[in-house]
Amino acid sequence: MMAASSSSTSSSSSSSVAHGLAGRSIASVSDLSSEELIAVLDLADDLKKKQHEGQSHRLLPDKTLGMIFQKPSLRTRVSFESGMTQLGGHAIYLAPSDIKLGQRETTEDIAIVLSRMVDIIMARTFGHDIVEDLVKHADVPVINGLSEREHPCQILADLQTIRERQARMAGLRVVWSGDGNNVAHSLMYGAALTGMELFIVTPPGYEPLDEIVADSRALAVKTGASIHVTNDLQSACKGAHVIYTDVWASMGQEEEAAERKKTFAPYQVNMRLLENADPSCIILHCLPAHYGDEIDYESSRSPNSAIFDQAENRLHAQKALMVLLAGAG
């Protein structure tokens, strides 16, 4: 009887955490607690299993997702649109020319109008302030599909992939090689919330924002995580369980691409880098990849690579997030 009671209590606690996400917006990974993040990943795993086994999981029937895009995308659009269809709902793609945020009408007005017509808003923007304004003025959940400051949906998929391949998250040595960009920022929060040892490795002058370093380290105190910022890639990769990279010049930085290519050359992820890593080490890249620059083709197709599992998991992690924010989990 005691064991059954304990199991029931645990299930009730998990359900309570999931229900606590209903109606919320996610502009940053740090908007989630450690328990809430795990609840998203657990549901993502369940939904992935259901899809792979051909089981229906129409948890959001007749619900509508409004998708605002300032930046074009393959993975973000297809994963959200396909995900909403699989959940029994409908997604509307709003192209940059359809809305012209802040030009044709204000972000405030867009948030208010969409709140009366859709059930969830997803926005892929340049400025993070746009996401924050949508959150402020919308009466429905808002999901940050990407901003110049963070990419929370990507990190949910990354954590799902890491847990699948390594069977744990706490205590893993994770290395980020490249620019201290929006993905790095969200990864820092994700690592802090899950107890990882994270090394953000960048060329001098390309480190992540100091305030996010400080915030993530404050979160890390609660989980036993550690967040390091360094320029020494070789040392960071010793015993690494995960090595992660991204393009050296993000969208909007095209004019810097040639200079960045020279500066970032020593930070390429390749098979040589794996020599001192843990034998189980996986390679991550959020795509699109520029083979021969931040990553070589060989390592991207090696048994260590989890790049395409990572891409697929955008679908499952985002479905889980939408279900929980809609209160259907």
pLDDT tens, residue by residue, 231-241: 999 999 999 99
**Which are the contacts of 62, defined by CB distance < 8 A and separation ≥ 6?**
88, 89
Residue 172 near residue 166, CB atoms below 8 Å: yes
pLDDT tens, residue by residue, 76-123: 999 999 999 999 999 999 998 888 776 779 999 999 999 999 999 999
pLDDT tens, residue by residue, 189-207: 999 999 999 999 999 999 9
Tell me what pLDDT residue 241 has: 98
pLDDT tens, residue by residue, 285-299: 999 999 999 999 999
**Residue tagged active-site, from 86, 154, 160, 268:** 154
Q: What is the pTM of this model?
A: 0.94
**Residue tagged active-site, from 286, 293, 316, 318:** 286
Q: Which domains does the chain possess?
A: 20-151+314-325 (3.40.50.1370), 153-310 (3.40.50.1370)
**Residue tagged active-site, from 77, 128, 151, 185:** 151
Residue 286 annotated to the active site: yes
Residue 314 annotated to the active site: yes
Closest C-alpha among 140, 146, 137 to residue 64: 140
Residue 323 near residue 21, CB atoms below 8 Å: no
Residue 154 annotated to the active site: yes
**Residue tagged active-site, from 119, 133, 158, 246:** 246
Tell me what pLDDT residue 45 has: 98
**Residue tagged active-site, from 149, 163, 314, 316:** 314
CA dist., res. 267 & res. 89, Å (int): 42
Residue 129 near residue 307, CB atoms below 8 Å: no
Q: Quickly state the pLDDT bin for 251 (edges 50, 70, 90).
A: low
